Amino acid sequence: MPALPPRAEMQRAYLKRDETYDGVFFLGVQTTGIFCRPSCGARKPQPKNVDFFATAREAVFAGYRPCKRCRPMSATVESPSWVRQLLARVDSSPGSRIADSKIRGMGIDPARARRYFQKNFGMTFQAYCRGRRMGKALEQIRKGRELDDVTLGHGYESHSGFREAFGRTFGAPPGKARETDCILVAWIESPLGPLIAGATNDHLVLLEFTERRMLEAQFTTLRKIFKLPIVPGSNAVLDTLRDELSRYFEGALKKFTVPLEFPGSPFQRKVWEGLLHIPYGKTMSYEELADHIGAPRAQRAVGHANGLNRMAIVIPCHRVVNKGGSLGGYGGGVWRKQRLLELERGETTLGFAKETLSDVPYQKASSSPARRMNASTRSRF
């Protein structure tokens, strides 16, 4: 579970409507049964009447409903402006070090940046910066740059220090970099919230919504399968993905062409390949998918493999529904599944503009839902 900041810090943040904490935590108001972003402009509750949650999902499962003013389940849960500012700073000079003092100089608390990146990106901000430096170094070595230029250009004062850091990251010395591959990961803003994508030089291997609980396990699986380091960066495969996702959300793309690689057991591959055969705008039940792949009695196994799909949207597991037509589960959240199916049925276009979910059905919360939850119920979430 993502770690929450200290309670006193969260209280200060929501009382000041500090938008830099949006996405770091959510607050549930016991007297109204509503949960909000820290920056919500509504009247602020007394601290004694507030519960804090690391994710919107936790707040929903605790019985709270989303605020109609700040829309904490807005489809564009985009990164806060200060996060985009940090990412832009790294992108403008990926070979440079960004010390905590420089982060403070930008008006950003380094501890807050560390927590946000750890929660949403699976690594601290400094780890992200190190990965970017190493990824850029690998790229330049492959292009024939001299080792001296690469070493000094990425903040290292000696060859030994650079070689050690490079070896830890890629499992090989810089001299073998031309034969070294890695999985480059990039964060892509979308109308349904940020996505994290991973690709080797030749194939897309990961596409997930950043808040998915299985994300850390997916990274572990990728490292085990490909035996490659994972570092921030971009390449031609990820550029293609960005372009195709943009056109998909605009309703202008019905079939992805980005090259895919999805290792798994023979049965898992059959399921994932079966998903690729579900037409755009159509759905298939788990039973129908099991029949389609020649395993008519394996609906449960099909559902399990469907949940392990590592490439959201591109391998369209959102097109699988329950037998009666209800949406069923979805790793990225049922509300996203609903929006994707609406998009593919031509009922809406998402583009890259803000979309809200105020019309998504929810159960009405009691006046004080959290107070009536016992400790064992809370612990499950």
Give the DSSP H/E element, type plus range, for residue 197.
strand 195-199
Nearest to 174 by CA among 199, 147, 201: 147
What gap in Å lies between CA 39 and CA 334, rounded to an integer?
Answer: 25
Q: Are 198 and 215 in contact (CB under 8 A)?
A: no
Q: Are 109 and 142 in contact (CB under 8 A)?
A: no
317 is catalytic: yes
Length of the chain: 381
Pairing between β-strand 320-321 and β-strand 34-36 as defined by DSSP bridges:
unpaired
Q: Is 216 exposed, middle or buried (0-12, 13-18, 19+ CB in 10 A)?
A: exposed
What gap in Å lies between CA 192 and CA 335, rounded to an integer?
Answer: 9
- Show the tokens assigned to 180: 């070294």
Pairing between β-strand 195-199 and β-strand 204-209 as defined by DSSP bridges:
antiparallel
Given 40, 67, 70, 317, which residue is catalytic? 317
Q: Which residues are catalytic?
A: 317
